[in-house]
Amino acid sequence: GAGVSQSPSNKVTEKGKDVELRCDPISGHTALYWYRQSLGQGLEFLIYFQGNSAPDKSGLPSDRFSAERTGGSVSTLTIQRTQQEDSAVYLCASSLQVADTQYFGPGTRLTVL
């Protein structure tokens, strides 16, 4: 069946612009996770959703980052006023329930010029 999909696959933006990254989880998966993969920091947890609520936002690096999930399905990660240090690959994962195996999408490569 279809896996986790993310769009766009690549995004190049100018410093100061806002960007939206989208994640479509596997159908029926109630838990959704966002991670960031960067050269300097490795793979970092950002936020996760159980249904539409986000019990843990501890990994969001600043208040420029926000995420929402509506209808228990698609999620959007928004970065406002992007900075060069935001350049990274943003990964989304989903699992049937929290504590089940997480399946990762291909990621969105964000480059901030």
Partner 1 sequence: GDSVTQMEGPVTLSEEAFLTINCTYTATGYPSLFWYVQYPGEGLQLLLKATKADDKGSNKGFEATYRKETTSFHLEKGSVQVSDSAVYFCALSVRDDKIIFGKGTRLHILP
Chain contacts with partner 1 (rule: CB under 8 A): 3-4, 31, 33, 35, 42-45, 48, 55-56, 59, 91, 93, 98-99, 101-107
State the minimum distance, in angstroms, from the CB of residue 32 to partner 1.
Answer: 11
* Cis amide linkage into residue 61, ω under 30° from 0: no
Which residue, 17 or 57, has its beta carbon nearer to partner 1?
Answer: 57
| Residue 110, CA distances (Å) to 13, 79, 81, 97 in order | 8, 11, 13, 28
Least distance (Å) from partner 1 to the CB of residue 49?
10
Residue (56 or 64) nearer to partner 1, CB: 56
Element (H, E) at 108: strand 108-112
Phi, psi of 19, rounded to the nearest 5 degrees: -135, 150
Residue nearer to partner 1 on the CB measure, 19 or 48: 48
